[in-house]
Structure 1
């Protein structure tokens, strides 16, 4: 992942906001992939009614940038430096409950879209979506609406109307809490318990407790089984 230096574009944008342009809605981008950031900046700045007011690559910078730049909307990825987009979304929501937010991520929407909405996001769009869809999602969220793909929107509506999951055979991974899923992903990425604890600012005992709950929910008996299942899940998601 890209690391922000003292002279990185991400930090410069937070300290030196661009001059306001009348009638343009300001977008703050939080994403630790430089290539994607550059691409979406060009995409947004090409629109007559939108402009990027800042780009941030880490969770540590995000809340300060929101305070300083006062964007009209913030876009976040699931994977960012320092935490994950779901937890960052919760933090932003707690301090700025009225700020619209849109998740733009490569990660499986069937796993993360509903979690993002519960955390406070107003929409979820995959990075693989067309440029038109991304802009449509930004504008819809800015206008006070929700944005989801037709597949996920239909699934959530069915769940709401029937009171039961619309896909009885969905992955057991969906049963994991947000924190458990974060730890499950970290295990699949090859990180050990102590590293996970240090990164997430948790105690080793807390991480071990979460691992035990994950094994129970996924019907896994041993630590090697947990690691194997997590690696397979991470690899499968990467190939979606």
Structure 2
């Protein structure tokens, strides 16, 4: 089964040039650390940026938080090079407070909401209401959610909000590193919850929808420049592009919500 959507070439070099800063004298290698929720939009937009700017993006992937060696804060702690970090906004704020990211470089890029998938061909519960979501969770034999911001919210708050924490705790699991939808596709879990932008690209599952707005935890993805970046101006150029109106279509197609662009 193919991915649920395909990324066309969204932007011509002329449109991209609007988002790029003037006077780019020489091409740079921009080292980027990017977390999963923004990855689909980033992958769609990166080739056009490279073509228009002449810069090369060297990207490392990892979660915004947690104990995994790949987590962005842990990569920075080890001294891995980065000119731009793209991650959950509140985790980026922690790095700013620690002096690891320049405060004046912070830029919101997109909002992310939580959705649910089932194995391809399986019945899709109606989770458009609070009662529907509650019943789907109670009826499910197994439930999986990620170890990122969405999963932390589900485990610590959503089950309590729905009043079913005790009923589901024995069949609900937090999944580390592996995309939740990939395990649902294999039949290892009946329901899978993660940020929509991380569910949509996975084959072998059907998207059941977003959880109700009353139950949502909206995660904002943001970008910033590490304090020791080797190419900070090139990094700022990339951030301006990702935050520009020219990037909004790719952001929305990835399952994220685009944000009003800064003046």
Fold in common (TM above 0.5):
no
**Structure with the largest fraction of strand:** 2
TM-score normalised per structure 2: 0.29
Comparing both chains, which one has the higher relative contact order based on Cα–Cα distances under 8 Å and sequence gaps of 6 or more?
A: 2
**Structure with the largest fraction of helix:** 1
